[in-house]
A = this chain, B = another copy of it.
Amino acid sequence: MAAPVKERKRVVILGGGFAGIHAALGLEDLPVDVTIVDRRNHHTFQPLLYQVALAVLSPADIAQPIRTIVRKHRNVEVLMDEAVSFDTTARRVFLGSGTQLEYDYLIIATGSTHSYFGHEEWAPLAPGLKTIEDATEIRRRVLLAFELAERQMLETEVHPELDFVVIGGGPTGVELAGAISDIARLYMKRDFRHIDPSKARVIILEGSPHVLGMYPEDLQKKAVEQLHALGVTIRTGAHVTDIQPGYVMVGEEKITAMVTLWAAGVQASPLGKLLGVETDKRGCVLVDAQLNPAGHKDIFICGDLAHAMQDGKQIPGVAQPAMQMGDYAAHSIGRDIAGKPRGEFRYFDKGDMATIGRKAAVARIAWPFKANISGFPAWVAWLAVHIFFLIGFRNRFSVFRQWAWTYLTFKDGVRLITGSHELPGWKAEHGVEVPKTGDAPKPPAAP
Protein backbone atom coordinates (compact mmCIF):
# COMPACT_ATOMS: atom_id res chain seq x y z
CA MET A 1 0.00 0.00 0.00
CA ALA A 2 1.38 3.37 -1.02
CA ALA A 3 2.15 5.87 1.70
CA PRO A 4 -0.31 8.77 1.76
CA VAL A 5 0.90 11.57 -0.51
CA LYS A 6 1.80 14.55 1.60
CA GLU A 7 0.79 17.73 -0.07
CA ARG A 8 3.73 20.06 -0.57
CA LYS A 9 3.17 23.48 0.93
CA ARG A 10 3.65 26.57 -1.20
CA VAL A 11 5.75 29.34 0.31
CA VAL A 12 5.92 32.74 -1.34
CA ILE A 13 8.75 35.02 -0.25
CA LEU A 14 8.50 38.67 -1.21
CA GLY A 15 11.93 40.32 -1.27
CA GLY A 16 15.38 38.86 -1.89
CA GLY A 17 17.26 40.76 0.81
CA PHE A 18 18.88 39.27 3.88
CA ALA A 19 15.61 38.06 5.39
CA GLY A 20 14.19 36.63 2.17
CA ILE A 21 17.37 34.80 1.18
CA HIS A 22 17.82 33.35 4.66
CA ALA A 23 14.21 32.16 4.68
CA ALA A 24 14.62 30.51 1.27
CA LEU A 25 17.83 28.78 2.23
CA GLY A 26 16.27 27.64 5.51
CA LEU A 27 13.40 25.97 3.65
CA GLU A 28 15.73 23.80 1.59
CA ASP A 29 15.06 20.43 3.20
CA LEU A 30 11.35 20.86 3.80
CA PRO A 31 8.53 19.49 1.60
CA VAL A 32 7.73 22.96 0.32
CA ASP A 33 7.86 24.77 -3.01
CA VAL A 34 9.29 28.22 -2.63
CA THR A 35 8.90 31.23 -4.91
CA ILE A 36 11.06 34.29 -4.26
CA VAL A 37 9.65 37.44 -5.84
CA ASP A 38 11.91 40.46 -6.17
CA ARG A 39 11.69 43.35 -8.56
CA ARG A 40 15.46 43.21 -8.92
CA ASN A 41 17.29 40.19 -10.22
CA HIS A 42 19.96 40.47 -7.54
CA HIS A 43 20.54 40.32 -3.83
CA THR A 44 22.52 43.31 -2.60
CA PHE A 45 24.89 43.16 0.34
CA GLN A 46 23.69 46.51 1.63
CA PRO A 47 26.27 47.08 4.39
CA LEU A 48 28.91 47.51 1.69
CA LEU A 49 26.88 49.64 -0.70
CA TYR A 50 28.68 52.78 0.45
CA GLN A 51 31.93 51.25 -0.82
CA VAL A 52 30.41 51.01 -4.28
CA ALA A 53 29.19 54.59 -3.92
CA LEU A 54 32.72 55.70 -3.08
CA ALA A 55 34.38 53.74 -5.87
CA VAL A 56 36.19 51.16 -3.76
CA LEU A 57 34.18 48.16 -4.91
CA SER A 58 32.34 47.27 -8.10
CA PRO A 59 28.60 46.53 -8.11
CA ALA A 60 29.28 42.90 -8.93
CA ASP A 61 31.44 42.58 -5.81
CA ILE A 62 28.47 43.06 -3.52
CA ALA A 63 25.50 41.94 -5.57
CA GLN A 64 24.66 38.54 -6.86
CA PRO A 65 21.73 37.29 -8.93
CA ILE A 66 19.19 35.67 -6.62
CA ARG A 67 18.97 32.81 -9.11
CA THR A 68 22.64 32.10 -8.61
CA ILE A 69 22.33 32.06 -4.84
CA VAL A 70 19.51 29.52 -4.85
CA ARG A 71 20.62 27.61 -7.95
CA LYS A 72 21.20 24.35 -6.11
CA HIS A 73 17.98 24.59 -4.15
CA ARG A 74 15.71 22.78 -6.53
CA ASN A 75 12.59 23.61 -4.52
CA VAL A 76 13.16 27.36 -4.92
CA GLU A 77 12.19 29.40 -7.95
CA VAL A 78 12.80 33.07 -8.55
CA LEU A 79 10.53 35.57 -10.21
CA MET A 80 11.57 39.06 -11.18
CA ASP A 81 8.32 40.80 -10.38
CA GLU A 82 6.61 42.88 -7.75
CA ALA A 83 3.67 42.26 -5.42
CA VAL A 84 0.92 44.81 -5.88
CA SER A 85 -1.84 43.44 -3.67
CA PHE A 86 -3.07 40.56 -1.56
CA ASP A 87 -6.12 38.42 -0.98
CA THR A 88 -5.29 36.96 2.40
CA THR A 89 -8.54 35.00 2.58
CA ALA A 90 -7.93 33.16 -0.66
CA ARG A 91 -4.18 33.21 0.13
CA ARG A 92 -3.11 34.89 -3.04
CA VAL A 93 -0.52 37.48 -4.03
CA PHE A 94 -1.13 39.58 -7.13
CA LEU A 95 1.96 40.58 -9.04
CA GLY A 96 2.57 43.60 -11.24
CA SER A 97 2.84 41.46 -14.35
CA GLY A 98 -0.69 40.12 -13.81
CA THR A 99 0.44 36.78 -12.42
CA GLN A 100 -1.23 35.47 -9.25
CA LEU A 101 0.61 33.27 -6.79
CA GLU A 102 -1.20 31.03 -4.32
CA TYR A 103 0.49 30.40 -1.01
CA ASP A 104 0.19 28.38 2.14
CA TYR A 105 2.78 30.58 3.80
CA LEU A 106 3.70 34.12 2.89
CA ILE A 107 6.98 35.70 4.01
CA ILE A 108 7.09 39.44 3.41
CA ALA A 109 10.56 40.92 3.60
CA THR A 110 10.51 43.86 1.23
CA GLY A 111 12.42 46.15 3.56
CA SER A 112 12.46 49.90 3.40
CA THR A 113 13.35 52.79 1.16
CA HIS A 114 14.38 56.43 1.63
CA SER A 115 11.98 58.81 3.22
CA TYR A 116 12.30 62.49 2.35
CA PHE A 117 9.71 63.34 4.98
CA GLY A 118 7.18 64.40 2.38
CA HIS A 119 9.70 66.37 0.31
CA GLU A 120 9.87 64.09 -2.70
CA GLU A 121 11.29 67.00 -4.68
CA TRP A 122 14.53 66.55 -2.73
CA ALA A 123 15.12 63.07 -4.15
CA PRO A 124 16.90 64.11 -7.38
CA LEU A 125 19.00 66.66 -5.48
CA ALA A 126 20.10 64.41 -2.63
CA PRO A 127 20.20 60.74 -3.61
CA GLY A 128 20.00 58.12 -0.89
CA LEU A 129 21.73 54.77 -0.76
CA LYS A 130 19.61 51.63 -0.96
CA THR A 131 20.32 50.04 -4.33
CA ILE A 132 23.15 49.41 -6.78
CA GLU A 133 21.67 52.13 -8.98
CA ASP A 134 21.77 54.55 -6.03
CA ALA A 135 25.39 53.67 -5.38
CA THR A 136 26.52 54.27 -8.96
CA GLU A 137 24.58 57.54 -8.99
CA ILE A 138 26.36 58.74 -5.84
CA ARG A 139 29.69 57.62 -7.28
CA ARG A 140 28.94 59.56 -10.44
CA ARG A 141 28.15 62.75 -8.54
CA VAL A 142 31.10 62.63 -6.17
CA LEU A 143 33.64 61.90 -8.91
CA LEU A 144 32.08 64.42 -11.28
CA ALA A 145 32.41 67.19 -8.68
CA PHE A 146 36.19 66.89 -8.81
CA GLU A 147 36.22 66.75 -12.61
CA LEU A 148 34.04 69.83 -12.96
CA ALA A 149 36.14 71.75 -10.45
CA GLU A 150 39.33 70.86 -12.33
CA ARG A 151 37.78 72.06 -15.56
CA GLN A 152 36.58 75.26 -13.96
CA MET A 153 40.06 75.97 -12.63
CA LEU A 154 41.50 75.79 -16.11
CA GLU A 155 38.98 78.28 -17.37
CA THR A 156 38.75 80.78 -14.55
CA GLU A 157 41.56 79.83 -12.14
CA VAL A 158 39.03 79.54 -9.35
CA HIS A 159 36.61 76.76 -8.59
CA PRO A 160 33.64 76.46 -6.28
CA GLU A 161 34.39 74.93 -2.91
CA LEU A 162 34.38 71.15 -2.97
CA ASP A 163 31.60 70.91 -0.40
CA PHE A 164 29.99 67.55 0.22
CA VAL A 165 26.97 67.59 2.49
CA VAL A 166 25.72 64.35 4.00
CA ILE A 167 22.28 64.68 5.56
CA GLY A 168 21.89 62.21 8.39
CA GLY A 169 24.41 61.01 10.96
CA GLY A 170 23.45 57.36 11.30
CA PRO A 171 25.78 54.56 10.23
CA THR A 172 25.24 55.20 6.51
CA GLY A 173 25.85 58.92 6.83
CA VAL A 174 28.97 58.39 8.91
CA GLU A 175 30.33 55.79 6.52
CA LEU A 176 29.64 57.95 3.45
CA ALA A 177 31.21 61.02 5.05
CA GLY A 178 34.31 59.15 6.19
CA ALA A 179 34.75 57.53 2.81
CA ILE A 180 34.39 60.80 0.87
CA SER A 181 36.99 62.40 3.08
CA ASP A 182 39.27 59.43 2.49
CA ILE A 183 39.08 59.29 -1.25
CA ALA A 184 39.53 63.06 -1.49
CA ARG A 185 42.55 63.20 0.79
CA LEU A 186 44.27 59.93 0.01
CA TYR A 187 43.26 58.65 -3.36
CA MET A 188 42.34 61.53 -5.63
CA LYS A 189 44.99 63.93 -4.45
CA ARG A 190 47.60 62.78 -6.93
CA ASP A 191 45.25 62.63 -9.88
CA PHE A 192 44.54 66.32 -10.38
CA ARG A 193 46.88 69.04 -11.55
CA HIS A 194 44.91 72.22 -10.82
CA ILE A 195 42.65 71.56 -7.85
CA ASP A 196 43.62 70.16 -4.48
CA PRO A 197 41.10 67.38 -3.75
CA SER A 198 42.31 67.21 -0.16
CA LYS A 199 40.66 70.60 0.41
CA ALA A 200 37.28 68.95 -0.04
CA ARG A 201 34.99 69.67 2.91
CA VAL A 202 32.62 67.08 4.20
CA ILE A 203 29.76 68.09 6.49
CA ILE A 204 27.33 65.81 8.29
CA LEU A 205 24.00 67.44 9.13
CA GLU A 206 22.25 65.50 11.87
CA GLY A 207 18.90 66.56 13.29
CA SER A 208 19.27 64.86 16.66
CA PRO A 209 21.84 65.85 19.29
CA HIS A 210 24.21 62.97 18.41
CA VAL A 211 25.60 61.07 15.45
CA LEU A 212 25.25 57.28 15.65
CA GLY A 213 22.37 57.67 18.08
CA MET A 214 21.85 53.92 18.35
CA TYR A 215 25.37 53.39 19.70
CA PRO A 216 26.54 53.68 23.34
CA GLU A 217 27.66 57.14 24.33
CA ASP A 218 31.36 56.33 24.53
CA LEU A 219 31.33 55.04 20.95
CA GLN A 220 29.45 58.11 19.76
CA LYS A 221 32.25 60.22 21.21
CA LYS A 222 34.90 58.05 19.61
CA ALA A 223 33.11 58.30 16.30
CA VAL A 224 33.07 62.07 16.54
CA GLU A 225 36.81 62.12 17.32
CA GLN A 226 37.57 59.85 14.41
CA LEU A 227 35.40 61.87 12.02
CA HIS A 228 37.13 65.06 13.16
CA ALA A 229 40.49 63.43 12.53
CA LEU A 230 39.35 62.86 8.95
CA GLY A 231 38.40 66.52 8.66
CA VAL A 232 34.66 65.86 8.66
CA THR A 233 32.55 68.64 10.15
CA ILE A 234 29.60 67.48 12.26
CA ARG A 235 26.58 69.68 12.81
CA THR A 236 24.12 68.14 15.23
CA GLY A 237 20.67 69.56 15.94
CA ALA A 238 20.72 70.72 12.34
CA HIS A 239 17.28 70.41 10.77
CA VAL A 240 17.33 70.66 7.00
CA THR A 241 14.51 72.88 5.84
CA ASP A 242 15.23 72.97 2.12
CA ILE A 243 17.48 71.41 -0.49
CA GLN A 244 18.24 73.31 -3.68
CA PRO A 245 20.75 72.75 -6.48
CA GLY A 246 24.07 73.82 -5.01
CA TYR A 247 23.02 74.35 -1.42
CA VAL A 248 21.11 73.11 1.61
CA MET A 249 19.14 75.30 4.03
CA VAL A 250 19.32 74.69 7.76
CA GLY A 251 16.79 77.16 9.10
CA GLU A 252 17.95 80.52 7.72
CA GLU A 253 21.48 79.34 7.09
CA LYS A 254 22.60 78.46 3.58
CA ILE A 255 25.18 75.71 3.38
CA THR A 256 26.84 75.37 -0.01
CA ALA A 257 26.94 71.86 -1.38
CA MET A 258 28.48 70.70 -4.62
CA VAL A 259 27.06 67.28 -3.85
CA THR A 260 24.31 66.52 -1.34
CA LEU A 261 23.62 62.99 -0.13
CA TRP A 262 20.65 61.71 1.81
CA ALA A 263 21.11 59.34 4.72
CA ALA A 264 18.43 60.71 6.98
CA GLY A 265 15.19 58.82 6.86
CA VAL A 266 13.73 55.54 5.81
CA GLN A 267 10.18 54.40 5.33
CA ALA A 268 8.93 50.86 5.10
CA SER A 269 7.96 49.18 1.86
CA PRO A 270 4.30 49.95 1.07
CA LEU A 271 3.40 46.26 1.18
CA GLY A 272 2.70 46.39 4.89
CA LYS A 273 -0.06 48.91 4.36
CA LEU A 274 -1.41 46.99 1.35
CA LEU A 275 -1.77 43.95 3.55
CA GLY A 276 -4.42 45.77 5.55
CA VAL A 277 -2.82 45.13 8.94
CA GLU A 278 -1.67 47.51 11.64
CA THR A 279 1.49 49.48 10.85
CA ASP A 280 3.54 52.07 12.69
CA LYS A 281 4.09 55.61 11.41
CA ARG A 282 6.94 54.52 9.14
CA GLY A 283 4.75 51.81 7.60
CA CYS A 284 6.37 48.90 9.46
CA VAL A 285 4.01 46.05 10.29
CA LEU A 286 3.30 45.40 13.98
CA VAL A 287 4.03 41.72 14.61
CA ASP A 288 3.75 39.39 17.55
CA ALA A 289 6.53 37.33 19.08
CA GLN A 290 6.20 34.86 16.20
CA LEU A 291 6.62 37.62 13.58
CA ASN A 292 2.99 37.30 12.48
CA PRO A 293 0.71 40.30 12.02
CA ALA A 294 -2.47 40.04 14.12
CA GLY A 295 -4.80 37.36 12.78
CA HIS A 296 -2.43 35.95 10.14
CA LYS A 297 -0.42 32.99 11.44
CA ASP A 298 0.37 32.06 7.82
CA ILE A 299 2.11 35.39 7.16
CA PHE A 300 5.57 36.24 8.47
CA ILE A 301 6.95 39.75 8.34
CA CYS A 302 10.75 39.74 8.38
CA GLY A 303 13.58 42.25 8.23
CA ASP A 304 13.09 45.97 8.62
CA LEU A 305 9.50 45.81 7.40
CA ALA A 306 8.71 44.22 10.80
CA HIS A 307 8.02 46.33 13.84
CA ALA A 308 8.96 43.67 16.40
CA MET A 309 9.48 44.28 20.09
CA GLN A 310 11.84 42.46 22.39
CA ASP A 311 12.37 43.22 26.06
CA GLY A 312 10.43 46.45 25.64
CA LYS A 313 12.60 47.73 22.78
CA GLN A 314 12.08 47.66 19.05
CA ILE A 315 14.40 45.31 17.22
CA PRO A 316 16.60 47.47 14.95
CA GLY A 317 16.21 47.34 11.19
CA VAL A 318 19.69 46.12 10.34
CA ALA A 319 21.18 43.06 8.68
CA GLN A 320 21.59 40.71 11.67
CA PRO A 321 17.98 40.63 12.84
CA ALA A 322 16.83 40.37 9.21
CA MET A 323 18.88 37.21 8.69
CA GLN A 324 17.68 35.76 11.98
CA MET A 325 14.07 36.55 11.20
CA GLY A 326 14.36 34.78 7.85
CA ASP A 327 15.86 31.75 9.57
CA TYR A 328 13.09 31.85 12.16
CA ALA A 329 10.28 31.99 9.60
CA ALA A 330 11.70 28.97 7.75
CA HIS A 331 12.15 27.11 11.02
CA SER A 332 8.58 27.88 12.11
CA ILE A 333 7.16 26.55 8.85
CA GLY A 334 9.16 23.38 9.49
CA ARG A 335 7.66 23.12 13.00
CA ASP A 336 4.16 23.47 11.55
CA ILE A 337 4.77 20.75 9.00
CA ALA A 338 6.19 18.48 11.69
CA GLY A 339 3.10 19.15 13.81
CA LYS A 340 5.13 20.78 16.56
CA PRO A 341 4.40 24.13 18.20
CA ARG A 342 6.33 27.17 17.03
CA GLY A 343 8.76 28.87 19.35
CA GLU A 344 9.07 32.61 19.73
CA PHE A 345 11.53 34.77 17.84
CA ARG A 346 14.47 36.00 19.93
CA TYR A 347 16.90 38.43 18.36
CA PHE A 348 20.38 37.29 19.27
CA ASP A 349 22.34 40.53 19.31
CA LYS A 350 25.98 40.12 18.28
CA GLY A 351 26.60 43.85 18.12
CA ASP A 352 26.83 46.70 15.65
CA MET A 353 29.66 48.30 13.78
CA ALA A 354 30.26 51.24 11.47
CA THR A 355 33.47 52.16 9.67
CA ILE A 356 34.81 55.66 9.69
CA GLY A 357 37.14 56.02 6.77
CA ARG A 358 40.05 53.88 5.85
CA LYS A 359 41.23 52.44 9.11
CA ALA A 360 38.88 53.44 11.88
CA ALA A 361 35.53 52.18 13.04
CA VAL A 362 33.33 51.86 16.08
CA ALA A 363 32.05 48.48 17.19
CA ARG A 364 29.66 47.51 19.95
CA ILE A 365 30.45 43.86 20.44
CA ALA A 366 27.72 41.93 22.27
CA TRP A 367 28.90 38.42 21.51
CA PRO A 368 30.97 36.31 22.22
CA PHE A 369 32.02 38.89 24.81
CA LYS A 370 30.80 42.37 25.54
CA ALA A 371 33.00 45.31 24.58
CA ASN A 372 32.85 48.67 22.96
CA ILE A 373 35.89 49.16 20.77
CA SER A 374 36.95 51.82 18.32
CA GLY A 375 39.75 52.88 16.01
CA PHE A 376 41.92 50.40 14.18
CA PRO A 377 40.91 47.25 16.14
CA ALA A 378 37.27 48.00 15.44
CA TRP A 379 38.11 48.45 11.78
CA VAL A 380 39.83 45.06 11.66
CA ALA A 381 36.80 43.50 13.35
CA TRP A 382 34.55 45.19 10.81
CA LEU A 383 36.66 43.86 7.96
CA ALA A 384 36.59 40.29 9.25
CA VAL A 385 32.85 40.26 9.87
CA HIS A 386 31.98 41.74 6.50
CA ILE A 387 34.17 39.42 4.53
CA PHE A 388 32.79 36.48 6.45
CA PHE A 389 29.18 37.35 5.83
CA LEU A 390 29.41 38.15 2.15
CA ILE A 391 27.28 35.58 0.40
CA GLY A 392 29.24 33.49 -2.11
CA PHE A 393 32.94 32.93 -1.89
CA ARG A 394 33.80 34.31 -5.30
CA ASN A 395 32.62 37.71 -4.20
CA ARG A 396 34.25 37.31 -0.84
CA PHE A 397 37.59 36.68 -2.47
CA SER A 398 37.14 39.49 -4.94
CA VAL A 399 36.24 41.98 -2.25
CA PHE A 400 39.11 40.93 -0.07
CA ARG A 401 41.56 41.26 -2.94
CA GLN A 402 40.12 44.65 -3.87
CA TRP A 403 40.33 45.89 -0.32
CA ALA A 404 43.84 44.63 0.16
CA TRP A 405 44.90 46.27 -3.07
CA THR A 406 43.26 49.58 -2.32
CA TYR A 407 44.44 49.61 1.25
CA LEU A 408 48.05 48.78 0.47
CA THR A 409 48.49 50.87 -2.64
CA PHE A 410 46.02 53.73 -2.22
CA LYS A 411 45.34 53.02 -5.84
CA ASP A 412 42.69 52.60 -8.42
CA GLY A 413 39.42 51.47 -7.04
CA VAL A 414 36.73 51.70 -9.66
CA ARG A 415 36.36 55.38 -10.28
CA LEU A 416 34.25 55.22 -13.39
CA ILE A 417 31.80 57.97 -14.18
CA THR A 418 28.93 56.53 -16.18
CA GLY A 419 25.68 58.15 -17.23
CA SER A 420 25.02 61.86 -17.40
CA HIS A 421 27.82 64.38 -17.06
CA GLU A 422 25.74 66.96 -15.27
CA LEU A 423 25.50 67.87 -11.64
CA PRO A 424 22.43 69.60 -10.21
CA GLY A 425 23.24 73.21 -9.56
CA TRP A 426 26.45 73.30 -11.49
CA LYS A 427 25.18 75.28 -14.42
CA ALA A 428 22.82 77.44 -12.42
CA GLU A 429 25.36 78.35 -9.77
CA HIS A 430 28.47 78.71 -11.84
CA GLY A 431 27.28 79.76 -15.26
CA VAL A 432 29.05 76.89 -16.93
CA GLU A 433 27.19 74.81 -19.43
CA VAL A 434 28.12 71.18 -19.23
CA PRO A 435 28.14 69.40 -22.59
CA LYS A 436 25.92 66.38 -22.69
CA THR A 437 27.49 63.20 -23.93
CA GLY A 438 26.21 62.53 -27.38
CA ASP A 439 25.18 66.11 -28.04
CA ALA A 440 26.00 67.27 -31.48
CA PRO A 441 28.90 69.70 -31.14
CA LYS A 442 27.84 73.28 -31.55
CA PRO A 443 29.91 76.18 -32.82
CA PRO A 444 31.13 78.57 -30.13
CA ALA A 445 30.41 82.26 -30.11
CA ALA A 446 32.46 83.83 -32.87
CA PRO A 447 36.00 84.00 -31.49
Interface residues of A (CB under 8 A from B): 39-42, 58-61, 63-65, 67-68, 71, 77-85, 87, 90, 92, 94-100, 132-133, 136, 143-144, 147-148, 150-152, 154-155, 190-194, 270-271, 274, 392, 394, 398, 401, 405, 411-412, 414-419, 421, 432-435, 437, 439-444, 447
Contact A94 to B435, CB < 8 A, known contacts A42-B417, A65-B415: no
In the complex, which of the residues A95, A133, A394 has the most CB atoms of chain B within 10 Å of its own CB atom?
A394
Give the shortest distance, in Å, between A443 (CB) and chain B (any CB): 5
B residues near A64, Cβ cutoff 8 Å: 412
B residues near A192, Cβ cutoff 8 Å: 67
Contact A83 to B441, CB < 8 A, known contacts A39-B421, A191-B68: yes
Contact A270 B440 (CB under 8 A): yes
Contact A150 B82 (CB under 8 A): no
Contact A41 B435 (CB under 8 A): no
In the complex, which of the residues A77, A143, A194, A441 has the most CB atoms of chain B within 10 Å of its own CB atom?
A441
Taking CB as reference atom, which chain B residue is nearest A61? Answer: B58
Contact A39 B435 (CB under 8 A): yes
Give the shortest distance, in Å, between A150 (CB) and chain B (any CB): 7
Given A39-B421, A82-B441, A98-B432, 14 more contacts at CB 8 Å? A42-B415, A58-B61, A63-B416, A77-B193, A79-B154, A80-B144, A81-B435, A97-B435, A99-B151, A99-B155, A100-B447, A132-B418, A136-B418, A394-B411
Contact A437 B68 (CB under 8 A): no
Contact A418 B133 (CB under 8 A): yes
Please measure, in the bound complex, the distance between the C-alpha atom of A78 and the C-alpha atom of B144, giving whole angstroms.
Answer: 13
B residues near A416, Cβ cutoff 8 Å: 41-42, 59-60, 63, 65, 132
Contact A59 B447 (CB under 8 A): no
Please measure, in the bound complex, the distance between the C-alpha atom of A201 and the C-alpha atom of B58, giving whole angstroms.
Answer: 31
Contact A443 to B147, CB < 8 A, known contacts A97-B435, A191-B71: no
Please measure, in the bound complex, the distance between the C-alpha atom of A318 and the C-alpha atom of B2, giving whole angstroms.
Answer: 69
Please measure, in the bound complex, the distance between the C-alpha atom of A40 and the C-alpha atom of B140, giving whole angstroms.
Answer: 11
Contact A84 to B442, CB < 8 A, known contacts A96-B434, A155-B98: yes
Taking CB as reference atom, which chain B residue is nearest A123? Answer: B438
B residues near A148, Cβ cutoff 8 Å: 80
From B81, B394, B405, A412 is in contact (CB under 8 Å) with B394
13 of the cross-chain contacts (CB-CB < 8 Å) are: A41-B417, A58-B58, A58-B61, A65-B191, A82-B435, A84-B443, A84-B444, A85-B443, A96-B433, A96-B441, A98-B155, A98-B444, A394-B412
Please measure, in the bound complex, the distance between the C-alpha atom of A417 and the C-alpha atom of B274, giving whole angstroms.
Answer: 27
Give the shortest distance, in Å, between A157 (CB) and chain B (any CB): 11
Give the shortest distance, in Å, between A151 (CB) and chain B (any CB): 5
B residues near A136, Cβ cutoff 8 Å: 418
Contact B58 A151 (CB under 8 A): no
Contact B92 A41 (CB under 8 A): no
From B77, B84, B143, B190, A41 is in contact (CB under 8 Å) with B143
B residues near A100, Cβ cutoff 8 Å: 447
B residues near A442, Cβ cutoff 8 Å: 84
Contact A418 to B59, CB < 8 A, known contacts A270-B441, A405-B394: yes
Taking CB as reference atom, which chain B residue is nearest A41? Answer: B417
B residues near A417, Cβ cutoff 8 Å: 40-42, 80
Give the shortest distance, in Å, between A130 (CB) and chain B (any CB): 11
Give the shortest distance, in Å, between A270 (CB) and chain B (any CB): 6
Give the shortest distance, in Å, between A444 (CB) and chain B (any CB): 4
Taking CB as reference atom, which chain B residue is nearest A188? Answer: B67
Contact A151 B80 (CB under 8 A): yes
Contact B68 A415 (CB under 8 A): yes
**9 tightest A-B contacts by CB?**
A96-B435, A60-B414, A67-B191, A80-B147, A84-B441, A99-B155, A94-B444, A77-B193, A41-B417
Please measure, in the bound complex, the distance between the C-alpha atom of A443 and the C-alpha atom of B273, giving whole angstroms.
Answer: 12
Contact B412 A80 (CB under 8 A): no
Taking CB as reference atom, which chain B residue is nearest A191? Answer: B67
B residues near A79, Cβ cutoff 8 Å: 150-151, 154
B residues near A415, Cβ cutoff 8 Å: 41-42, 65, 68
